[in-house]
């Protein structure tokens, strides 16, 4: 645990039980009584009771990525029994799923989804929830690390192919048909926002060599040439089905803070992106991250705490956690210090990652 700072002392005095637990590890028995935590646990309990993993990827609050993502925002951990008992079925599924052999199966969208949704997306938040050492989670993290490191080492940003051979593809899509070499075996060799979540949670469990691989991948994601590719990269092409082309993954869509005056919608993900990126030294050394922190610093109040505008700490229904749509950490929205507590808390988490130096091997 990082050393307590002035912000931590203020937060411990003013924030609710969820933030106090997130900062100190204490109050675990009280966390489950928080209304926002209870609402999240109800959704997870419904899935656990039915052992239903469907609807993994998407922005709806019933999607598994948002359920687990919100659990991570609320800093729930496997050492909280009421939470852990509801995640057992997910880990059991991953144990079985990662032992399958689909190497002889032909490429299909089903095969791509089996790797993306049922591995990367499903496992992405589990390290932050305390499962970094679970065998299936570590297997998925290592698999993604090797695939993406092999790609990022190439320094390649020309990721598109000649669409002349792509039949029945809408003309508007043809300039952004992703090279099929990058997903020929069903594993997508492009870093996604879920990969960033996964690696951020794994950094303290990775070996030194694994951390170096993750840093290389994050450097690729932060390059201006990657930002120019856009948040969804483009379209995947698999002929023979009802749909020949689909947009499947979401990359790290970073707002242009240098040449544009971003609108509120463009900035919604900024704080959460900074939190994820703060796990990596590649981010702290990047120009974009420096500009992002400078942008957030303008909202520092006179007493040293932060008070972001509402669009930077959004909490709303049916919004992606990874897009910054669920930033409330169990606080009462009616409280006079609501914005100040949340803003200061997220900046404290970003600062702690730097001070802890987990990316340097501490």
Residue range 266-297, pLDDT digits in tens: 899 999 999 999 999 999 999 999 999 999 99
pLDDT at 361 over 50: no
Q: What is the SS3 string spanning the chain?
A: CCCCCHHHHHHHHHCCHHHHHHHHCCCHHHHCCCHHHHHHHHHHHHHHHHCCCCCCCCCCCCCHHHHHHHHHHCCCCCCCHHHHCCCHHHHHHHHHHCCCCCCCCCCCHHHHHHHHHHHHHHHCCCHHHCCCCCHHHHHHHHHHHHHHHHHHCCCCCCCECCHHHCCCCCHHHHHHEECHHHHCCCCCCCCCHHHHHHHHHHCCCCCHHHHHHHHHHHHHHHCHHHHCCCCCCCEEECCCCCCCEECCCCCCCCCCCCCCCCCHHHHCCHHHHHHHHCCCHHHHCCHHHHHHHHHHHCCECCCCCECCCHHHCCECCCCCHHHCCECCCCCCCCCCCHHHHHHHHHHHHHHHHHHHCHHHCC
Q: Write down the pLDDT at residue 44.
A: 96
pLDDT at 56 over 50: yes
pLDDT at 3 over 60: no
Q: What is the pLDDT of residues 15-26, one digit of tens each?
A: 999 999 999 998
Confidence of residue 202 (pLDDT cuts 50, 70, 90): very high
Confidence of residue 85 (pLDDT cuts 50, 70, 90): very high
Closest CA to 331 of 318, 344, 320: 344
How high is the mean pLDDT of the chain?
93
Q: Between 261 and 81, where is the model more confident?
A: 81
Average pLDDT over residues 193-219: 98
Confidence of residue 260 (pLDDT cuts 50, 70, 90): low
Task: Calculate what percentage of the chain has a pLDDT beyond 70.
Answer: 96
Average pLDDT over residues 150-160: 97
* Rounded Cα distance, 87 and 136, in Å: 13
Average pLDDT over residues 162-170: 89
pLDDT at 305 over 60: yes
Write down the domain spans for the chain: 105-253
pTM above 0.85, yes or no: yes
């Amino acid at each position: 645990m990082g050393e307590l700072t002035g912000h931590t002392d203020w937060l411990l005095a003013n924030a609710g039980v969820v933030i106090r637990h997130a900062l100190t590890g204490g109050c675990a028995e009280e966390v489950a009584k928080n209304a926002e935590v209870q609402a999240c646990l109800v959704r997870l309990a419904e899935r656990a009771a039915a052992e239903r993993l469907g609807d993994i990827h998407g922005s709806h609050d019933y999607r598994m990525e948002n359920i687990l993502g919100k659990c991570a925002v609320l800093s729930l951990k496997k050492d909280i029994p009421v939470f852990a008992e509801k995640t057992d079925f997910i880990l059991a599924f991953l144990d079985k799923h990662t032992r399958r052999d689909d190497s002889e199966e032909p490429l299909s969208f089903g095969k791509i989804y089996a790797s993306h949704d049922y591995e990367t997306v499903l496992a992405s938040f589990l390290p932050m929830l305390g499962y970094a050492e679970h065998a299936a989670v570590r297997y998925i993290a290592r698999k993604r690390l090797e695939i993406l490191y092999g790609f990022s080492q190439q320094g390649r940003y020309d990721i598109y192919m000649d669409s002349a051979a792509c039949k029945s593809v809408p003309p508007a899509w043809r300039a952004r048909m992703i090279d099929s070499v990058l997903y020929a075996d069903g594993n997508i060799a492009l870093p996604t926002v879920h990969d960033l979540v996964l690696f951020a949670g794994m950094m303290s469990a990775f070996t030194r060599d694994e951390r170096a691989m993750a840093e290389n991948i994050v450097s690729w994601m932060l390059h201006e040439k990657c930002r120019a590719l856009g948040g969804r990269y483009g379209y995947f092409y698999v002929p023979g089905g009802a749909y020949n082309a689909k947009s499947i993954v979401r990359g790290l869509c970073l707002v242009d803070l240098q040449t544009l005056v971003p609108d509120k919608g463009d900035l919604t993900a900024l704080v959460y992106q900074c939190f994820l990126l703060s796990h990596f030294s590649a981010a702290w050394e990047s120009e974009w991250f420096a500009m992002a922190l400078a942008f957030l610093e303008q909202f520092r109040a006179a007493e040293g705490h932060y008070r972001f505008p509402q669009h930077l700490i959004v909490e709303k229904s049916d919004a992606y956690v990874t897009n910054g749509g669920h930033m409330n950490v169990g606080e009462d929205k009616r409280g006079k210090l609501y914005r100040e507590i949340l803003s200061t808390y997220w900046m404290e988490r970003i600062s702690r990652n730097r001070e802890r130096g987990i990316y340097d091997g501490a």
